[in-house]
Amino acid sequence: GDSVTQTEGLVTLTEGLPVMLNCTYQTIYSNPFLFWYVQHLNESPRLLLKSFTDNKRTEHQGFHATLHKSSSSFHLQKSSAQLSDSALYYCALRGEEGSSGNKLIFGIGTLLSVKP
Residues that bind another protein (CB under 8 A): 4, 37, 42-47, 50, 90, 94, 97, 100-109
Q: How far is the CB of 76 from another protein (least distance, A)?
A: 16
Q: How far is the CB of 77 from another protein (least distance, A)?
A: 22
3-state helix, strand, coil in the chain (%, to 5): 5, 50, 50
Q: How far is the CB of 101 from another protein (least distance, A)?
A: 5
Q: How far is the CB of 16 from another protein (least distance, A)?
A: 28
Question: For residue 37, how far is the Cα from the chain centroid?
Answer: 6
- Give the nearer residue to another protein in terms of CB position, either 2 or 15: 2
User: Are 4 and 23 in contact, with CB atoms under 8 Å apart?
Assistant: yes
* Separation between Cα atoms, residue 24 and residue 14, nearest integer Å: 25
The backbone torsions φ and ψ at residue 29, rounded to the nearest 5 degrees and listed phi first, read -85, 140
- Give the nearer residue to another protein in terms of CB position, either 49 or 81: 49
- Give the nearer residue to another protein in terms of CB position, either 13 or 93: 93
